[in-house]
Amino acid sequence: MITTLFALSISLSLSFLFQNILAQGQEEEQQQPPVSNAGPDQTVNEGDIVILNGTGSFDPDGKIVSYAWGIEDSDDEAPAVTLNGQNTSNATFTAATAAGGDVDSYLFELSVTDNDGLIATDAAKVIVAKDVG
């Protein structure tokens, strides 16, 4: 009788353990990270209004709840730019006069956060040229 109760107790414990493991696995499968899409790299003229387009970003199992654009890198001589709409899917700025010779380059990063708190990033390069035609 004690052996039967012991075996039943182990069986129930293992069953409970496996159910918890399966539930955790299903929970993790349901929480997919978003996909950040900062749009294509661009080459623009000095003085152009540049649109950084993150509307291609999406969340396969929920929705994007925040966007954050930032300047990840730039040429040493490149003049500072001010981003408008940093917390929207589309940010803009006016391309400054190229200071580093004929071109300056900037690397912009888009971070998106989904409704599960998961974050994804992508980058787009913008080259500002004196005259690209």
Using one digit for the tens of pLDDT, what is the confidence trace for 29-74? 679 999 999 999 999 999 999 999 999 999 999 999 999 999 999 9
- 122 phi-psi bin (left φ>0, alpha ψ -120 to 50, beta other): beta
* pTM to 2 decimal places: 0.76
Range scoring the smallest mean pLDDT among 15-29, 50-64, 84-98, 107-121:
15-29
**In the numeric block, which tokens belong to residue 9?**
């107790």
Four-way CATH pick for 42-129: 3.30.70.560, 3.65.10.10, 3.40.50.1860, 2.60.40.10: 2.60.40.10
Residues 6-13 have a mean pLDDT of 52
